[in-house]
């Protein structure tokens, strides 16, 4: 009986950890998605800050007049997370994505 209880406890903890990281990636994606349609000047991402106050690592002009601003998010991140924000000519966020293993947020 003790072995079964321990096994169930271990399985529940492992399943909880997997769900937690999955949810953390989704939470970060939702944070970025909530920027769409808002002014870039007031765009805030939890644990990153106001994007307009940060210097982008790269700016990519697009043929439609928009530009993509790329931010490499480091501390407290150990590995890489890059955030790509597409901003139109009126300084409105029209797209937001991320790439890298550290693009997550605890919820």
- Torsion angle, alpha carbons of 94, 66, 26, 74, to 10: -140
> Would you say residue 11 has pLDDT above 90?
no
- What pLDDT does residue 78 have? 67
Mean pLDDT of the chain: 82
> Would you say residue 79 has pLDDT above 50?
yes
Q: Among the residues of the chain, which ranges form H helices?
A: 2-33
Kindly report, residue by residue over 20-61, the tens digit of the pLDDT.
Answer: 778 888 999 999 999 999 999 999 988 788 999 999 999 999
């Amino acid at each position: 009986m003790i072995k079964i209880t321990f096994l169930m406890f271990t399985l529940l903890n492992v399943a909880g950890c997997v769900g937690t990281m999955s949810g953390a990636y989704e939470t970060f994606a939702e944070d970025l998605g909530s920027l769409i349609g808002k002014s870039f000047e007031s765009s805030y991402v939890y644990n990153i800050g106001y994007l307009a106050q940060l210097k982008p690592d790269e700016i990519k002009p697009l043929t439609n007049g928009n530009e993509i601003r790329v931010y490499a998010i480091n501390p407290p991140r150990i590995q890489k997370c890059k955030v790509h924000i597409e901003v139109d000519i009126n300084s409105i966020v029209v797209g937001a994505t991320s790439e890298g293993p550290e693009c997550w947020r605890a919820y």
